[in-house]
Amino acid sequence: QVQLQQSGPGLVTPSQTLSLTCAISGDSVSSNSAAWNWIRQSPSRGLEWLGRTYYRSKWIHDYAGSVKSRIIINPDTSKNQFSLQLNSVTPEDTAVYYCVRGQIGDRRYFDFWVQGTLVTVSS
């Protein structure tokens, strides 16, 4: 059974960097059939997919245009985890953040979600 464990601060100062990590058990960050996603949810923006990373002979990084200039999602194969780095945050980035496994290929969906972490951007 796949399990995801998310860690990181719940409070970030405006203009600073939001950093979260998602540890994977029951699957591999280098899996040929999965992609590793970050999704957030807020009352104002709803569910918003931020981006993903996955391995297909090389690492692929795919980001939403709304955050493309300030996001990095990195895999860490030594620890079997992946991370989110969102730079230059504003209060608009306040949301519940989820790390999520996605199936890709012929069948494409999000099948395992972490409980989620509320990240508040405030001074």
Q: Where do contacts with other proteins occur on this chain (CB under 8 A)?
A: 37, 46-49, 62-66, 98, 100, 102, 107-111, 113-116
- Closest distance to other proteins from the beta carbon of 13 (Å): 26
8 Å CB contact between 51 and 63: yes
Q: How far is the CB of 78 from other proteins (least distance, A)?
A: 27
Pick between residue 35 and residue 89 the one whose CB is nearest to other proteins: 35
Which is closer to other proteins, CB of 81 or CB of 117? Answer: 117
- Give the nearest distance from C-beta 62 to other proteins in angstroms: 5
Contact (CB, 8 A) for 112 and 6? no
Q: Give the residue among 22, 25, 3 at the shortest CA–CA distance from 82.
A: 22
Task: Quickly count: other Cβ atoms within 10 Å of residue 25's Cβ.
Answer: 12
